[in-house]
Chains A and B, each alone.
Chain A
């Protein structure tokens, strides 16, 4: 009979208690309170415990009559989805290409780590400064306009470069492409190189290998990256605020404004709706993968 090897492993599960307590106090309870307060009433000075649907009714006021065109809420969501879609598309294409280059063309591990870190370092610096740093390039007298004028390509400076939807998407891509690169790169590193060799030997060209072998095998990475980018843009209020010159609408900005005016139950109701939409998007996307297997 084989002797059972006794592995001495003390029970360490209690070590997760402090970690769990932080998430209860600063994540679970706040979200529950948000849900509760979204049914409360409020005046200019205070919030009043109650159970009313007024905050939700107010959000969708006039949304289902379509007499005066779209209501503010629908317009804001359409604007938010617009930023989501373009940011998602560009970060996906760019992030995939960068990850593909790092995973398949860079063969030395130290070089691969170095180039990967070069992509990561800006993530650890200030988002606000990264946004501000576009001003000297995109402004009315910025580098882009000055250069194009001096080459005679345009006569007048282009006004839409800064404080526009263009600069918002540009800044979002600038800030969040890394969220695509990391999970896609991680998926690509797990692909057995022999599978690609086999496809190549069977006569597939590079485009076919990417579409028929690499993309299907990277699906989990692509989905995780997409969830990150879409959720971060759905709730964004800083980038759309700063890079949009405080002129463009997003659902995050509405919540932020309501909070600044202490209309907390209204902000809570908007948050609940935003959260439900975000959860819906995530559920649809995670139908395809098991996140835990990807670590």
Chain B
């Protein structure tokens, strides 16, 4: 049963290989096409080889200010990543023991993962629009000049945007914490306490090194899912746009390989972050075993 080289093996191996080609084929085709010459189009065959479209992208010709939205997305990604790590790890520690409402919180978290993103985006947008009307009414009642004249909206990346993204990144963070603590050997902590460590020392010198690779994993989810998030972000970023929001706009307007160049750049950044995180996880794990 399940022998390497059997007919069954060959069938499932070919399904697996086809799946991997299906998964990566398209993205490599746009990476190839982004290196075309100036006369290149949206489809094969390749028209020459150059960095022309990357140059165009750099100059920002014919595009909205991609550079700015790119920087905004990186900034927001880092912010969401830090919050995802801190909140998930602390909640993960709390969840090791039952507490009042722990089941309710757990199911809320799972529900947040599977609620349709458009519904969540609408809800958060509504919430902040209602806050807006409250602020405006308040400003008019008390005749506060700065509110009456200048107030636009409370919707923004760091008011409503990051929260909508956290409802997507935090469930992954908590599930990773559950996975690690379900397999956690509690006798290590008892040993540490028997040797006289207090609870902070036990956490930093015993628990933390063991869960460190998982924390890197949570950070990876936090950053990449925020950096590329679109569905939940679509209505809650206020006047500013993140990179995925601009990208969606470009899919209907841009007809040159410049969009492939942009795809190559943003995918490379994702690959760099993933590669760095996975290497870090690998190093941390092997340090632990040694």
Residues of A within 8 A of B (CB): 5, 7-16, 18-20, 22-23, 25-31, 33-34, 37, 47, 94, 97-98, 100-102, 104-105, 115, 117-119, 121-122, 124-137, 139, 141-143, 146, 174, 177, 196-197, 200, 206, 209, 227-228, 231-232, 234-238, 242, 246, 252, 255-256, 259, 264, 267-268, 271, 274-275, 278, 282, 291-292, 295
Closest chain A CB from B183 CB (angstroms): 10
- Please tell me if the beta carbons of B27 and A125 are within 8 angstroms of each other in the complex: yes
Given the complex of chains A and B, what is the CA–CA distance between A100 and B179 in angstroms?
21
Indicate whether B69 reaches chain A with its CB closer than 8 angstroms. no
Q: Quick one: which of B227-264 are within 8 Å of A by CB? A: 227-228, 230-231, 234-235, 244, 247-248, 251-252, 259-260, 263
Q: List chain A residues, Cβ under 8 A from B204.
A: none
- Contacting B167 at CB < 8 Å: which of A5, A26, A139? A26
Q: List chain A residues, Cβ under 8 A from B252.
A: 246
- Please tell me if the beta carbons of B116 and A234 are within 8 angstroms of each other in the complex: yes
- Contacting B199 at CB < 8 Å: which of A10, A101, A137, A275? A10
Query: From DSSP, what is the main secondary structure of chain A's interface residues?
Result: helix
- Please tell me if the beta carbons of B247 and A129 are within 8 angstroms of each other in the complex: yes
Given the complex of chains A and B, what is the CA–CA distance between A136 and B66 in angstroms?
23
- Please tell me if the beta carbons of A200 and B110 are within 8 angstroms of each other in the complex: no
Q: Kindly list 7 other residue pairs between chains A and B, CB separation below 8 angstroms, not including A124-B220, A295-B175.
A: A13-B94, A15-B90, A97-B16, A133-B263, A135-B30, A228-B114, A232-B114
Q: Quick one: which of B96-132 are within 8 Å of A by CB? A: 96-97, 99-102, 105-106, 108-120, 122-127, 129-130
- Please tell me if the beta carbons of A125 and B119 are within 8 angstroms of each other in the complex: no
- Please tell me if the beta carbons of A137 and B230 are within 8 angstroms of each other in the complex: no
Given contacts A119-B20, A278-B116, contact A13 B97 (CB under 8 A): yes
- Please tell me if the beta carbons of A125 and B271 are within 8 angstroms of each other in the complex: yes
Q: List chain A residues, Cβ under 8 A from B65.
A: none
Given the complex of chains A and B, what is the CA–CA distance between A133 and B102 in angstroms?
43
Q: List chain B residues, Cβ under 8 A from A100.
A: 12
- Contacting A124 at CB < 8 Å: which of B88, B112, B244, B270? B270
Interface size on B (CB < 8 Å)? 101
Given the complex of chains A and B, what is the CA–CA distance between A18 and B89 in angstroms?
11
Given the complex of chains A and B, what is the CA–CA distance between A200 and B96 in angstroms?
40
- Please tell me if the beta carbons of B19 and A94 are within 8 angstroms of each other in the complex: yes
Residue of B nearest to A267 (CB): B122
Given the complex of chains A and B, what is the CA–CA distance between A115 and B12 in angstroms?
14
Given the complex of chains A and B, what is the CA–CA distance between A146 and B44 in angstroms?
9
Given contacts A8-B199, A16-B105, A231-B114, contact A128 B16 (CB under 8 A): no
Q: List chain B residues, Cβ under 8 A from A31.
A: 115, 119-120, 123
Indicate whether B39 reaches chain A with its CB closer than 8 angstroms. no
Given the complex of chains A and B, what is the CA–CA distance between A238 and B64 in angstroms?
20
Pick out which of these stretches binds chain A: B2-10, B55-63, B139-147.
Answer: B2-10
Indicate whether B95 reaches chain A with its CB closer than 8 angstroms. yes
> Which 7 pairs show the lowest CB-CB distances between chains A and B?
A235-B116, A30-B123, A13-B99, A26-B163, A133-B26, A16-B94, A19-B91
- Contacting B127 at CB < 8 Å: which of A30, A128, A236? A30
